[in-house]
């Protein structure tokens, strides 16, 4: 009799035990910083790290007083959409399709080359870009422009900083979609290609009717995932243009960083970060709404009692 009750106790205890490691990490590195950030946002913490008053001034500043905000938002929008459309999704799709169409060995070689920038340290990658677009005649691009075409040297970092950060991030970003979509294309059953050919489809029609439809799901996932990651990361921008000249290539996340750590306005930076976080949460909820959260949830493979 008494033994019959033992499993009931186990049933309650074990899920908590299973979740404990992940939950504690989540608490320590995700939830605690959010709470602290929200706390700081309502203070007047400055360079001295001293808090003397609770205030709503930081939010006033975001919503009106800060003249930089509209420019920063426009820059961020242009940067994210252009990088996403042309590189992180567009180039990724093209690379996945072309590298799976050629022989396996050649395809693997090209994919290897495209993954290199992701593998190399950000500082080295950024330094290479700085050299490529350097305004002196010794810059790689200027050697081509002046040496081969005989034109005046370009100063892209000064004249078109947004273009430079889009290119630099795009060349790294394309490899993510390339890897994901390559495996998607590989997992299309061979019989479907055979069937399409027997049905009379040309190479182009096979691409349109067999390959592209299968990419739809993964492309949506990549779009949302990469949009969020482009919104919050700024290390290449920081290293290549430092957001400049002035604020011309400063995206929202970098603006948060510059306000907080360059200007020493920690409280204002914290308030700006809350807005970014809210946007991210809304975006994720929208994604759930559109595609259901089923894509992130499957039945467990084992049953925990």
Partner 1 sequence: MAQIAFEQVSKSWGETEVLRPMDLSIANGECVAILGPSGCGKSTTLFLLAGLYAPTSGKVLFDGHVVNGVDARDRNVGIVFQSYALYPHMTVRANIGFPLRFQKVDKDDLSRRVVEAANLVQIDEFLDRKPAELSGGQQQRVALARALVKQPNILLLDEPLSNLDATLRMSMRAEIRAIQRRLGMTTLIVTHDQIEAMTMADRIICMSRGAVAQIGTPDELYRRPADTFVAGFIGSPPITLLEGDAKGETLHIGTGAMTLTASTAGRITLGLRPEDLRLGAPGQGGLPARVVTVEPLGREVLYGVETAIGRLHVLAMAGDAVPPAGEPAAVQIDAAHSLLFDAGGRRIPNLNIRP
Question: Applying CB under 8 A, does 295 fall inside the site for partner 1?
Answer: no
# residues near partner 1 by CB under 8 A: 18
Nearest alpha-carbon partner for 226 in 184, 173, 283: 173
Q: Please identify which residue in 123, 194, 245, 304 interacts with partner 1, judged by CB under 8 A.
A: 194
Site string for partner 1, 211-250 (x = CB under 8 A): --xx-x----------------------------------
Question: Applying CB under 8 A, does 105 fall inside the site for partner 1?
Answer: no
Question: Applying CB under 8 A, does 202 fall inside the site for partner 1?
Answer: yes
Question: Applying CB under 8 A, does 208 fall inside the site for partner 1?
Answer: no
Q: Please identify which residue in 51, 122, 201, 276 interacts with partner 1, judged by CB under 8 A.
A: 201
State the minimum distance, in angstroms, from the CB of residue 191 to partner 1: 4
Question: Applying CB under 8 A, does 70 fall inside the site for partner 1?
Answer: no
State the minimum distance, in angstroms, from the CB of residue 137 to partner 1: 53
Assess contact for 272 and 259: CB atoms under 8 A. yes
Q: Please identify which residue in 199, 245, 261, 292 interacts with partner 1, judged by CB under 8 A.
A: 199
Question: Applying CB under 8 A, does 186 fall inside the site for partner 1?
Answer: no
Catalog residues that contact partner 1 under the rule CB under 8 A: 189, 191-192, 194-202, 205, 209-210, 213-214, 216
């Amino acid at each position: 009799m008494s033994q019959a009750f033992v499993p009931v106790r186990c049933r309650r205890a074990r899920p908590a035990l299973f979740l404990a490691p992940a939950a504690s990490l989540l608490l320590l590195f995700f939830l605690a910083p959010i709470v602290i950030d929200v706390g700081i946002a309502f203070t007047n913490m400055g360079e001295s790290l001293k808090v003397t008053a609770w205030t709503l001034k930081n939010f006033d500043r975001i919503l009106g007083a800060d003249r930089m905000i509209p420019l920063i938002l426009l820059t961020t929008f242009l940067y994210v959409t252009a990088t996403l459309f042309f590189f992180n999704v567009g180039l990724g799709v093209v690379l996945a399709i072309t590298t799976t169409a050629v022989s396996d060995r050649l395809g693997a070689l090209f994919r290897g080359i495209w993954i290199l920038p992701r593998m190399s340290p950000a500082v080295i990658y950024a330094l290479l870009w700085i050299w490529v677009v350097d305004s002196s005649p010794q810059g790689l691009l200027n050697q081509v422009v002046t040496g081969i075409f005989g034109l005046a040297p370009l100063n892209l970092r000064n004249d078109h900083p947004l273009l430079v950060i889009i290119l630099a991030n795009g060349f790294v970003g394309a490899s993510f979609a390339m890897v994901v979509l390559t495996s998607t294309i590989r997992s299309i059953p061979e019989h479907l290609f055979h069937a399409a050919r027997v049905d009379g489809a040309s190479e182009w029609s096979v691409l349109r009717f067999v390959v592209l439809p299968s990419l739809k799901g993964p492309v949506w996932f990549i779009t949302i995932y990469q949009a969020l990651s482009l919104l919050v990361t700024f290390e290449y921008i920081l290293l290549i243009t430092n957001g400049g000249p002035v604020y011309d290539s400063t995206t929202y996340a970098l603006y948060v960083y510059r306000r907080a750590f360059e200007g020493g306005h920690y409280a204002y930076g914290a308030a700006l970060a809350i807005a970014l976080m809210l946007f991210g949460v809304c975006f994720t909820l929208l994604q759930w709404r559109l595609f259901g959260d089923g894509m992130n949830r499957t039945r467990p493979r084992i049953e925990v009692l």
